[in-house]
Structure 1
Amino acid sequence: MLVPVDGGDLAVEIHDGHTAPVLAIHGVSGSRKLWNRVAAHGFSLITPDLRGRGDSSGVPGATIRQHADDMVRVLDALELPSATVAGMSMGGYVAVDLAVRYPDRVRALVLVDGGFPMPAHAQMTEEILTAALAPQLAARERTWTPDEYLAVQAVVDPLIDTTDPLVREYYTHDLTADGHLRLPAETLLADTRDVVFGESRWQELTVPTWFVHAEWSVGADSAPAYTAEQAAGFRAALPVLREPVLITEVDHGGTVLTRKGAAVTAEVLAEALK
């Protein structure tokens, strides 16, 4: 379905399942297909392509606040007074902003390796960020066949099985029919800057919140986005946060794109739905 927002229409996919509806928000370079493997566990998911991504690639603008306002439009279009909300990576920051500014619209919150301040962000500068994004920006200057694009993803993150049909669907959704990456460079940069240099309002959360985090960031044995000690610190500082859940032997993307990660995330989501 298409949902009118400022500047255009958001593409929203509805996964029919056997649960109450869950609004699931993807990460900075992702799309609605990120949640394919979690949806396979039988959840009723509402998965938008955020502005600038997937079938919403023509919608301009990119800030955490704007994405959160768009999510209110999605709930309104579906005539949902409230819903459980899940956010992965940047989607976690969008979900936090949504829950803080519209707490009556969020029944419960599940944050997956995002939403809380990442320690690495404190060391980031504009120059370091631009350098870190250089490969992704360069990838937008050429065309790709699906097989070429999947081969690169398999090298970037060997823990994710790119032969999995649900994963393949996720990655190929990044491409236009003529092989260009849909996400514009300016949108990628603007949203990444907002995540890295913006301020998460996590300490203002008042809704029941769950936090799932990965043992690694990208690839085996890499430093995680959040350590267990940091997650425990969030738990101590935020009364509405339940005991954090660590997914071992997966990395950031693997929290939802691998069978093991998706299974644990699904368990936490089921708990939040109770």
Structure 2
Amino acid sequence: MTTSDTSAPLVGPAPLVELDSVSKYYGNIRALEGVSLTVHAGEVSCVLGDNGAGKSTLIKIIAGLHRHDAGTFRIEGEETSLSNPRDALDRGIATVYQDLAVVPLMPVWRNFFLGSEPTKGAGPFKRLDVDRMRRTTREELLRMGIDLRDVDQPIGTLSGGERQCVAIARAVYFGAKVLVLDEPTAALGVKQSGVVLKYVAAARDAGLGVVLITHNPHHAYLVGDRFVLLKRGTMAGSHLREEIELDELTRQMAGGSELEELSHEMERAERK
């Protein structure tokens, strides 16, 4: 008679992306030092920090624009160092930057397939498959809950939030496993920010791992599962959602003890 060994720990799937004590230097300038980040399928990992905190450098490493100088970068458990953005895309990492790479006067469907246009016919009869692009764009946007009036309208006529959502739907359609969003709500009002966050949640629910770069703790807390706080290129905190409340996340993001010290200094100055 044999008994099964139940003492062995259960091992889940490897994170889609994992950075372990990653550092990046530009000469004598420390852009990042000892930063760790874990991205799981079906989760949103938020990276918070003010200007100069190192968020842009972190994006560039994940997107394949820059190589890290120290630490470990893994994709689905395999240690790697990306050579360029195409290498990142081939590994399933899509980055949507704040200044979206769109052609404002082109229709939505053309921007959706920009650089990856399907064709039909052969030889001298080869041409763009416009009907397929229109149909696919409409279907994919609807699948993400985006109901545009007309996919033939120039993408420049859409609101900033709608353009962000088209970029998210495009990344999902072209097979992204990891979606990196660079400050997607930074230039948007309250209503449009809510629209974008709704589609961030939709990408998460579709099984993608999402990296949300933001300086807004309220937006991060609405959709985030993990939070990494950066300050001057180093980690100022790392928390799971169940470990921290919004007020504490906001306090840490705002500087916490530094703000308290400043408040005391201001109080003394007023008394004088």
TM-score of the superposed pair, with normalisation by structure 1? 0.25
The structure that is strand-richer by fraction is 2
Structure number with higher relative contact order (C-alpha < 8 Å, ≥ 6 residues apart): 2
| Higher Rg of the two aligned structures | 2
TM-score of the superposed pair, with normalisation by structure 2? 0.25
